[in-house]
Amino acid sequence: MRVLPRYPGTLLLALALASLVWYVNALDRRERISERQLDASLTLVNVPANLAVTTDVPRSLTLRLRGPLNRLRALDPASTGVVIDLRGVSEGDREFAVEARDVIVPAGVSVVAVSPSQIALRLEALVQRRLPVRIKVSGEPASGFEVHASRAEPDLVEVIGPRQQLERLGALSTEPVAVDGLEGAVEAVVAIRSPLPLVRIIQPLTVRAVVEIGERKIVIRRGTRH
């Protein structure tokens, strides 16, 4: 005795979907295969927590893509991209080859070429340092007066950043303390500013600035005897 399928509707639906997929693929095969060039964003992933990329990272790379004409025409640059995996890299100057497998493209589209084909990056170790704080002064005191001295309380700040950048930095400055037209000492709580985006202040974020203003010192120069 032959047993009939219990769900003939399911089989019909499966056959219809299979036919649709075959038809779409057949259209793609019959359509002209074309090429298109566009710019795609570059993303760095898995950057080690103890390292920082200190060189400029290209905002985009140029892709040369191949596929059915209708798919290339409808291709949105936002649906493409290049991903470079930095997992396991060490400190130093590195070059990374950009391969087709690193490029994200929709199904049915292949990667012919990527330009540039290599990305040069410098990675520096992140370290913590204590740097001196310098008070930045703006303006001119009252006539006959000048800034004699300035100090920060506390006078050291803890920061974290790329090793070589911290070695070159030396010190951090505060926001300007205005002394326009003043004759006496000035005290203010001011924020500390990092001049480098990769150097981050840990603590303190502000200091007490003391600027001492006094009468201008007159320097008497003795004439040269002949």
User: Among the CATH numbers 2.170.120.40, 3.20.10.10, 3.60.15.10, 3.20.20.140, which is that of 127-215?
Assistant: 2.170.120.40
Name the CATH topology of 32-116: RNA Polymerase Alpha Subunit; Chain A, domain 2 (2.170.120)
Residues of the chain with CATH 2.170.120.40: 127-215
**Predicted TM-score (pTM) of this structure:** 0.66
pLDDT of amino acid 170: 86
User: Over its length of 226 residues, how does the chain's per-residue pLDDT go in tens digits?
Assistant: 454 455 455 666 666 666 666 655 655 555 678 888 989 999 999 999 999 999 999 888 999 999 998 888 888 888 889 999 999 999 999 999 999 999 998 888 889 999 999 999 999 999 999 999 999 999 999 998 999 999 999 999 999 999 999 989 889 999 999 999 998 889 999 999 999 999 999 999 999 999 999 888 776 666 555 4
Q: Given this model, what pLDDT does residue 103 score?
A: 93
2: which residues sit within 8 A by CB, 6+ positions away? none
